[in-house]
Amino acid sequence: MKEEISFYNYAAIVKNLRGVIYWKGKGDLEWLLSRFRYRYLGVPPSLERIILKRKNLVLLTYPNNIILKVKELFSRVLIEEIAEVLCLASTYISPVMTDDMDDFRDLIVAEVKTTKELTDKDWKLHMRIADYTVLDFYTWSTNNAKEAIESGNVEEFLQERKEKIEKDIRRYWRIVEDEGRAFLAYVDPLAILRKYNLVEEFKSLGKDAFATMGILPVIFIHF
């Protein structure tokens, strides 16, 4: 594990971060980077190889050892890179940006679909809306996950979270349709814990682990 990031550096990155990348080389990374000339996109340690000498790419670090342990727990049931990007995106309060939605397919709880051909202006607007989605959910969803796990009644809380997600889809009213390709998908880390029976092991990690329980929008970058 790399040295833990200092709090002041963590705070500065969170303030300026607009997304965390999960990239397979299928999409146009240069196009994505050009949309964020004055803000950061985060790169998880497992994808350090894609780092270019670009000022708006920043290599992310685990804020503490507990977040790393959550990643290791998720890695037992998920692709390690997926486990990492979900933990870090939640902890850094940012959406995931990917060129490969297939790797998230089994984790999706809702989608924003569209048949529209998005302009650069459309992309920029809706990526900003996705940033609001994760930020506005964050305090509620992390506290809600803590309450769910401590109550022992996770199913009831998962239903509440799904209803919140369905309401959030309304933010994307300009493009959302019943059919079409995915523009964005929602992933709920609490649902992953429940699906793979990891709730009790997660609970034993301590309160800092709940930083990874933010509901996450995953934006599909494709052309």
Q: Are 89 and 18 in contact (CB under 8 A)?
A: no
Using DSSP's 3-state secondary structure scheme, residue 22 falls into strand
> pLDDT digits over 179-193, tens only?
999 999 999 999 999
Q: Are 79 and 98 in contact (CB under 8 A)?
A: no
The residue length of the chain stands at 223
Q: Does pTM top 0.75 for this prediction? A: yes
> What is the enclosing helix (H) or strand (E) of 113?
strand 108-114
Q: Are 62 and 68 in contact (CB under 8 A)?
A: yes
Domain range list for the chain: 7-220
| pLDDT given for residue 2 in this prediction | 52
Which has more pLDDT, 25 or 87? Answer: 87
| pLDDT given for residue 176 in this prediction | 96
* Segment 161-190 mean pLDDT: 96
Amino acid present at 2: K
Average pLDDT, the chain: 92
Cα(206)–Cα(144) distance, integer angstroms = 15
